[in-house]
Amino acid sequence: MQTFFENVEFQRLLADWGKAGDVSVIAELNSEKIGAAWYRFWTDDDHSYGFVAPHIPELGIAVRSDFRSQGIGRLLLRRLKETGKAQGVKQLSLSVAPNNYALRFYESETFTKCGESGTSWTMICTL
């Protein structure tokens, strides 16, 4: 089974991490990283599936499988939303497959569908 970091698309999403505008939050338990949420600004020419506009950063979340459905993703997302709002970010976007169990989670956190890219939905949330 391919890990998160072996996935070519995820490698591209995180390439050159730390450039201006990149923001992340990490969940740890006993000094062990168990999840992360991040956002990154993209351009019209260089972007990912959840891209909406250059001024709207795209969100990513990953929680280790043995820690899912315990509220960690929700805590990470809410902290990232707070951070973004404090930095003047007005909206966040993301991409999710409509059959992904995370879709209901995103909807419960006020993300709404604003488009489609391939087989995934593009969603947006106002902070």
Q: How many residues does the chain have?
A: 127
Residues in CB range of 90: below 8 A, 6 or more apart: 55, 56, 126, 127
Provide the residue-wise pLDDT of the chain in tens; the chain has 127 residues.
455 556 666 666 666 777 889 999 999 999 999 999 999 999 888 778 889 999 999 999 989 999 999 999 999 999 999 999 999 999 999 999 999 989 999 999 999 999 998 889 999 999 9
CATH architecture classification, 4-126: 3-Layer(aba) Sandwich (3.40)
This prediction's pTM: 0.85
Are 63 and 76 in contact by the 8 Å Cβ rule? The answer is yes
Burial of residue 102 (CB within 10 Å: 0-12, 13-18, 19+) is: middle
Question: What are the boundaries of each domain within the chain?
Answer: 4-126
Are 121 and 103 in contact by the 8 Å Cβ rule? The answer is yes
User: What is the Cα 45 distance to its own chain's centre?
Assistant: 20
